[in-house]
Amino acid sequence: MAGYLSETDFVMVEEGFSTRDLLEELTLGASQATTDKVAAFFLADLGAVVRKHFYFLKCLPRVRPFYAVKCNSSPGVLKVLAELGLGFSCANKAEMELVQHIGVPTSKIIYANPCKQIAQIKYAAKHGVQLLSFDNEMELAKVVKSHPSAKMVLCIATDDSHSLSHLSFKFGASLKSCRHLLENAKRNHMEVVGVSFHIGSGCPDPQAYAQSIADARLVFEMGAELGHRMHILDLGGGFPGVEGAKVRFEEIASVINSALDLYFPEGCGIDILAKLGRYYVTSAFTLAVSIIAKKEVLLDQPGREEETGSAPKTIVYHLGEGVYGIFNSVLFDNTCPTPVLPKKPSPEQPLYSSSLWGPVVDGCDCVAEGLWLPSLHVGDWLVFENMGAYTVGMGSLLGGTQTCRITYAMSRVAWEALRGQLLPAEQDEDTEGMCKPLSCGWEITDTLCMGPVFTPASIM
Ligand code: PLP
């Protein structure tokens, strides 16, 4: 163990106990607290992060993972990933400081933002962060002046037209401009040591990775012609963080492995990296949010009252977090967060058309609509799974909690696996089987039986 993470950093989940039990305890404790009431908190299963890491190494054995700090910079995540030996991809000075603060050496940090503030380039120079990315001449000129000994990674544009989030307009040099940039670097005595790309998040076509790897090969050839000794290929992020994603991680890994064999075969001397964010943390974080207000709205549907014997209504629940904070993926990624209910409703319990709203007084702060839920009360908790990516630190500035408490947990099996940096031997063959004992024993959730048009809620 390198000593980044210790047993005091998390709750050890012993055999026979699960994170579900822990969550129940936490929600009960939060409900009973007379002071310091919280409207939302996270439970983070660090064992899930450990498990993801081992699976990554198994599926992409030639790729060295770095972690994109912007995705979730909470201390437990950074520490467990540092303990697993990952490097860190930072977008700014604050992220570099965070990672340095937990003791990560600067040799493991990439300053991977192609457009940087001069003061922050100087910070990197002063603290010995050597690997910096760029995608244009101006940026190169800034680095030449403020960090002349930096080693540059040329960030190339990708075809991210089908991805959920597009970055290639903002970041990435076109293939056409690469020769010119490499010449410019040579003239200015800047070493270009590698090529990076990021296909964007939620890319539905794994071939985008193969195309970008092929493009990177061309840039490596241009660089070699111009006398750059390039030895780093950075595949960026965009790997899915949840099971059931449109494109499975295994599919992407298979496309990448074939493309690497073709364009960067084993023994070619190129260090292959990826900068993953959501892959590592999405499924590890569960969010509990309490209902802070409730309103019944009668629906104006002529004739329905006679049919059913009661006036049709919908229930509007207000939560302490909304789309301007933790649920920002509703705005940016078109997600539909679906709550898990702490108790399974009995078959006789009526379900009502329901919607969930954030704390901001505007009509856009809608977390979810079209749910069928039993009648819930102010103070009840709703639980949302897969909440680890781009959520922490995003607590609503507009009326929300700003920072949300995080309780870290890990099963003893995962802790032992982390300490030994290997999987328990009997689980090594079966990756699916491997996943369960390492995590804290979430059970598969049942799903409420819903009408055909509405999004179901699940049961814890
Ligand atoms: N690399 C770069 C350059 C990024 O901009 C991002 C996120 O925007 C990532 C990696 C991480 O992406 P993801 O969380 O989809 O893995």
Q: Which residue has the higher pLDDT, 301 or 425?
A: 301
Close Cβ partners of 145 (under 8 Å, ≥ 6 residues apart): none
DSSP assignments along 177-231, one per residue = HHHHHHHHHHHTT-EEEEEE----TT-S-THHHHHHHHHHHHHHHHHHHTT----
Taking the C-alpha atoms of residue 88 and residue 245, their distance in angstroms, rounded to an integer, is: 25
pLDDT at position 62, please? 98
Burial class (CB in 10 A: 0-12, 13-18, 19+), 300: exposed
Position of tokens 């449109």?
246
Structure tokens, 402? 């700003």
Give the chain's mean pLDDT.
86
Cβ(237) to ligand 1 under 6 A?
yes
Cβ(323) to ligand 1 under 6 A?
no
Cβ(325) to ligand 1 under 6 A?
no
Cβ(273) to ligand 1 under 6 A?
no
- Other C-beta atoms closer than 10 Å to the C-beta of 337 total 21
Q: Highest mean pLDDT range out of 36-50, 87-101, 158-172?
A: 87-101
Query: Which residue from 54, 61, 232, 45 is spatially nearest to 132, judged by alpha carbons?
Result: 232
Taking the C-alpha atoms of residue 68 and residue 236, their distance in angstroms, rounded to an integer, is: 9
Give distance in angstroms: CA of 65 to centre of ligand 1: 12
Give the nearest ligand 1 atom to 275 CA: 10
For atom 15 of ligand 1, the residue with the nearest CA is 238
Q: What are phi and psi of 89, to 5 degrees?
A: -105, 115
The Cα angle at residue 342 between residues 411 and 324, in degrees rounded to 5: 90
Give distance in angstroms: CA of 291 to centre of ligand 1: 33
Beta bridge mates, 313: 298
Position of tokens 């009648």?
375
Q: At 341, which helix (H) or strand (E)?
A: strand 340-341
Structure tokens, 236? 């960026």
Q: What is the pLDDT of residues 262-310, one digit of tens each?
A: 999 999 999 999 999 999 999 999 999 999 999 999 887 666 666 666 6
Cβ(241) to ligand 1 under 6 A?
no
Answer yes or no: is the ipTM higher than 0.90: yes
Q: Which range among 105-119, 130-144, 184-198, 305-319 shows the weakest confidence by mean pLDDT?
A: 305-319
**Average pLDDT for residues 45-67, to the nearest whole number?**
97
Q: Which residue has the higher pLDDT, 245 or 75?
A: 75
Cβ(68) to ligand 1 under 6 A?
yes
Give the nearest ligand 1 atom to 276 CA: 16
Runs of H (alpha helix) within 353-411:
none
**Average pLDDT for residues 148-169, to the nearest whole number?**
79
Cβ(90) to ligand 1 under 6 A?
no
**Average pLDDT for residues 245-257, to the nearest whole number?**
94
pLDDT at position 428, please? 47
Q: Highest mean pLDDT range out of 294-303, 366-375, 419-428?
A: 366-375
Query: Which residue from 119, 231, 234, 220 is spatially nearest to 179, judged by alpha carbons?
Result: 220
Give distance in angstroms: CA of 289 to centre of ligand 1: 27
pLDDT at position 444, please? 30
